[in-house]
Structure 1
């Protein structure tokens, strides 16, 4: 086998494989059935043509037989008239017609034999077509059932994959929800602790401590006001001043701090007196 022959064989094999992969068995069976019906129709047409030809020969034979009878009558009349020459001529034509009739009979017999064989083949082919039709419908039903089963299996497989993907999506949603809930709780905790206030405020540690001291001083001032209203404020104030005056402190920072404290207490007392008035 040459290179071109091998290449042609490979190409044909590939094409046949491609056609087979794309082939629909139902369409193939229907095509085969229609092709067999066409062949049966061709056989019937052949039988009809053969029968027509046989009938034409039979008609021709009957005409020759009529001529034979005519030549017989001519020979009798010629003999009665004493014309042996005419009688001989009529008999010669009769013999010629008889020879043609024999040839036609042979041809008609051959056509009849051929017709009989074609009829037998036609009947056999028709039986095969009927059997093939039944088998074709059975095969088509089996193929459609198998195709439906395959589609159901593929659908079930697809549903399984989809359910797995859905389960994974639910799990991811659950994880993200838990993460967001934890984040919200952390934000609430930071809000309650004041971390956001510290982050947004411009105060440093000293400003914060001073603010807390002022708040404490306001509370103490209000407490002194309540004590004064109850008649206890003067005695405790004197004792507090005496205790403060007796404390020695040589440190300049401590002295300045004490002065600031006294000033703050004085302001607090002044505010208390104003509130009392």
Structure 2
């Protein structure tokens, strides 16, 4: 029927719109279900009207048959009374009622066929709507999942983590460079301290060696040694100087 075909045309059109991505799937499917439900209400109303019309025709047919029977009884009564003309008129009225009953019977046959078609179409439409409702929930769930995936992909696409990671890598390299420089500086500082210490030790060692060298040179040049001076060859000036130095040391010791 036209309503049934219209429903599927609407569904196909809406699905095509969904595929093309021009409309929101959830809104379109909900609207399609609302349209289908309204169509189903119209079909039910039409079925109810046709069913009511059929019952009205049945009552009219029964009334016509009953009236035809009454006119037949009147025709019999008129014949019994010897009034043939009146009996003929009653029979003509009976025939009219029978013809009306026959016409009503033909209408009833057509109404019965229409009622059966409407009832069958209504059942099919109800079944299709139930099936479409189940598919609608599935399509809506899939559409929502697809929307969520799109949003997640767009969010991931808009978030540029490479710069942040590069910044971390640069800072890591910088920290490692600073640590290397600190280690080198520490090593240089330790090396400088060790070098200074070695230099001072060398100076100290050098003074004693130089003194020893001077003494050895003096001996080689014939300078009198300490033992030689003890043997009687002492210098008077040296002895005097030694006595003076001893006196100074004793005075320093006596000072409080």
Match runs of 1:84-103 below 5 Å: 84-103=84-103
The equivalent of 2:116 in structure 1 is 116
After TM superposition, give the deviation of residue 140 of structure 1 in Å. 0.9
Superposed CA offset, 1:208-251 (max 9, x none): xxxxxxxxxxxxxxxxxxxxxxxxxxxxxxxxxxxxxxxxxxxx
| 1:130 and 2:126 correspond | no
The equivalent of 2:76 in structure 1 is 76
After TM superposition, give the deviation of residue 170 of structure 1 in Å. 6.2
The equivalent of 2:29 in structure 1 is 29
| 1:166 and 2:161 correspond | no
After TM superposition, give the deviation of residue 56 of structure 1 in Å. 1.9
Match runs of 1:200-215 below 5 Å: none
After TM superposition, give the deviation of residue 42 of structure 1 in Å. 1.5
Distance 1:21 1:100 in 2: 60
Match runs of 1:1-277 below 5 Å: 20-159=20-159, 161=160, 163-167=161-165
The equivalent of 2:218 in structure 1 is none
After TM superposition, give the deviation of residue 22 of structure 1 in Å. 4.0
The equivalent of 2:241 in structure 1 is none
TM-score (norm 1): 0.51
The root-mean-square deviation of aligned C-alpha atoms, in Å, is: 2.8
State the number of aligned residues: 159
After TM superposition, give the deviation of residue 128 of structure 1 in Å. 0.8
Distance 1:107 1:22 in 2: 49
After TM superposition, give the deviation of residue 89 of structure 1 in Å. 0.8
The equivalent of 1:230 in structure 2 is none
Unaligned runs of 5+ residues in structure 2 are: 1-15, 175-256
Superposed CA offset, 1:236-268 (max 9, x none): xxxxxxxxxxxxxxxxxxxxxxxxxxxxxxxxx
Distance 2:134 2:165 in 1: 49
TM-score (norm 2): 0.55
After TM superposition, give the deviation of residue 43 of structure 1 in Å. 1.3
After TM superposition, give the deviation of residue 120 of structure 1 in Å. 0.7
Unaligned runs of 5+ residues in structure 1 are: 1-15, 177-277
After TM superposition, give the deviation of residue 138 of structure 1 in Å. 0.8
